[in-house]
Every structure is written in C-alpha cells, then in structure tokens.
C-alpha cells in the first residue's frame, strides 16, 4: 500500500499528489501539519531525516524529493497510465525540463512565497521560541531560509528571483509555441512539475509576469492542466492554511 505524507495542495505536495492521481494509484493520505511544525517532530525526522514533506512510503520503502518520487512511480508501476515516454530521448527531454524546474524555477517562486507567508509567520514567533524551533530543523539550508524569512529577504535577492521567474516564463511560453506539453508531444512528469512550482499560481502570484500579453501559450497550457481529472483531484485535497496567508497558491499576496 502506498502512503503519502504531505501538506497543502501546493508546490511539492501538490506535485506528488498530481502524479499519484494521474497514475490512478490508490494511496493513503497522511496530512502533516506544517502550521504545527509537525515535519520537524522526531517521528517524522525518523522517516525523512531531512524533515521535509512530501514523503512516499511504499510498503516500507521510503522515497523523498518529488522529482525522484515521480520517476520512482514510473519505474514501480509500469502498467499504470504513464507520465514518462519510456524512449531514451523522450525520457531525456522530461529530465531536462525537470532539472530546469528544480534548479531554475522552484527556489525563486518559493522565495517570494516565503517572503510573503513564512516571513509573517516567523516574525510572529517570540525570539526564544523561534530559536527552539530552529534547533529542530535538520537541514542547515532550511534553518537559514527561516532565519532570512524572519529578518527579511534582501531586495537584491528578491529582484534576482523575479528575473529568474521572468526568464522561466518566457522560455516555457516560447517552448509551448511548438510543443503541446512541457517535454514535447506527450503529457509527462515535467508538466506536473512546472504546474505545481510555477504555472498554477503564476497569474495570481505575479500578475505582471503571468499575463495574457506576456505568456498566452503558457496560460492556455495552465487552463488545459486545470481541466485534467488528476490535477482536479489533487487540487481538491484539504487546505488548512489561513486564506489570508495562501501566498503559495497566489490566492493571497
């Protein structure tokens, strides 16, 4: 039996749920409450020493990092609806785009999400309690991100993140002029990746970038993604975040 430890349907948690629903694989959902920092609890860190969601548990086999989870599901369930062409060149294209999203998109959209949401949360925690929370975070990078969110990301870093998002949107929009899906003619893991990390929230989160004028093909692709039954099911998963703080889905700014 598959079990997914996940948070709200946005970013990495959404991505893993899209993969599972698109492949029509039944799974047990185990909600991890990030508002209560459950991902840093000893029981969760025992499962994933990095203290991050989502995590897939396949009958005791533990897989983390959503790009790796996506490929794992392809290898593990070859008879389920496929999200990878399984030709050498087709797979290379999926992996090229996954690397692009993982290395040049995700962290920059995330910085703005953290700036708008986690900064507010972090500044609301009293100093001594904040230090205790920090001590429990296993990844040093993640500790630093929390501390920076609390003190505020620099204007320079935020401007750089904006430029990276602009470049990514322009690249994907130009690419979609000649390709139906992100990795070519076939719907794939790369679509779920770019959608969860950027596409699903771009128009709400960055209206000046995700505009009809700047990226019409990208927005047309988002509309097609929104209609997919697997995507709909993933988006319908519970969202317990305070609506005023839903910056990762762009519902709040």
Q: Are 3 and 19 in contact (CB under 8 A)?
A: no
89, 156, 208, 223: which one binds its own copies (CB under 8 A): 89
Closest distance of CB 65 from its own copies, Å: 6
The C-alpha atoms of residue 46 and residue 79 are separated, in whole angstroms, by: 32
Q: What is 58-83 written as a DSSP string?
A: ETTEEEESHHHHHHHHHHH-TTSPPS
Q: Examine residue 174 and tell whether it contacts its own copies (CB under 8 A).
A: no
Is the separation of the CB atoms in 139 and 51 below 8 Å? yes
Burial class of 156 by CB neighbour count within 10 A (0 to 12, 13 to 18, 19+): exposed
User: How many helical (H) and strand (E) elements, i.e. helices and strands, does the chain have?
Assistant: 13, 4
Candidate ranges 96-104, 129-137, 179-187, 193-201; the one touching its own copies (CB under 8 A): 96-104
Please report how close the Cβ of residue 141 comes to its own copies at its closest, in angstroms: 8
Write down the least CB distance from residue 236 to its own copies, Å: 28
Q: Which is nearer to its own copies, 105 or 219 (CB)?
A: 105
Does 131 contact its own copies by CB under 8 A?
A: no
Handedness of CA 240, 242, 246, 252 (dihedral sign): positive
42, 88, 127, 128: which one binds its own copies (CB under 8 A): 88
First-residue to last-residue Cα distance in the chain: 38
Residue 41 beta carbon to its own copies: minimum distance, rounded to whole angstroms? 22
Pairing of strands 55-58, 61-64: antiparallel
Closer CB to its own copies, residue 92 or residue 244? 92
Closest approach, Cβ 74 to its own copies, in A, equals: 9
Strand partners, 55: 5, 64
Q: What is d(CA 232, CA 247) in angstroms, rounded to the nearest whole number?
A: 20
Q: How far is the CB of 160 from its own copies (least distance, A)?
A: 9
- Choose which of 24, 81, 99, 232 interacts with its own copies (CB under 8 A): 99
The pattern of x and - marking residues 36 through 75 that bind its own copies according to CB under 8 A reads -------------------------x-xxx-xxx-xx--x
Residues of the shown chain interacting with its own copies in the complex, contacts defined by CB under 8 A: 61, 63-65, 67-69, 71-72, 75-76, 87-89, 91-92, 95-96, 99, 102-104, 140-141, 163, 167
């Amino acid at each position: 039996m598959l079990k997914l430890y996940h948070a709200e349907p946005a970013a990495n948690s959404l991505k893993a749920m899209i993969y599972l629903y698109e492949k029509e694989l039944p799974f047990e959902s185990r909600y991890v409450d990030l508002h209560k920092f459950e991902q840093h609890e000893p029981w969760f860190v025992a499962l994933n020493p990095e203290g991050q969601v989502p995590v897939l548990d396949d009958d005791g086999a533990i897989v983390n990092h959503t790009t790796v989870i996506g490929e794992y599901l392809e290898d593990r369930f070859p008879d389920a609806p496929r999200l990878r062409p399984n030709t050498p060149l087709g797979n290379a294209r999926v992996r090229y785009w996954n690397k692009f999203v993982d290395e040049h998109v995700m962290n920059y959209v995330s910085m703005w999400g953290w700036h708008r949401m986690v900064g507010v949360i972090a500044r609301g925690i009293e100093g001594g309690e904040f230090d205790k929370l920090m001590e429990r975070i296993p990844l040093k990078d993640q500790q630093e991100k929390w501390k920076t969110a609390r003190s505020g990301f620099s204007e320079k870093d935020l401007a750089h993140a904006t430029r990276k998002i602009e470049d990514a949107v322009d690249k994907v929009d130009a690419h979609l002029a000649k390709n139906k899906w992100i990795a070519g003619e076939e719907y794939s893991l790369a679509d779920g990746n770019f959608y969860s990390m950027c596409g699903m929230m771009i128009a709400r989160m960055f209206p000046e970038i995700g505009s009809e004028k700047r990226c019409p093909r990208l927005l047309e692709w988002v509309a097609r993604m929104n209609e997919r039954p697997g995507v709909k099911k993933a988006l319908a998963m519970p969202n317990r975040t305070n609506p005023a703080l839903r910056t990762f889905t762009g519902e709040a700014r």
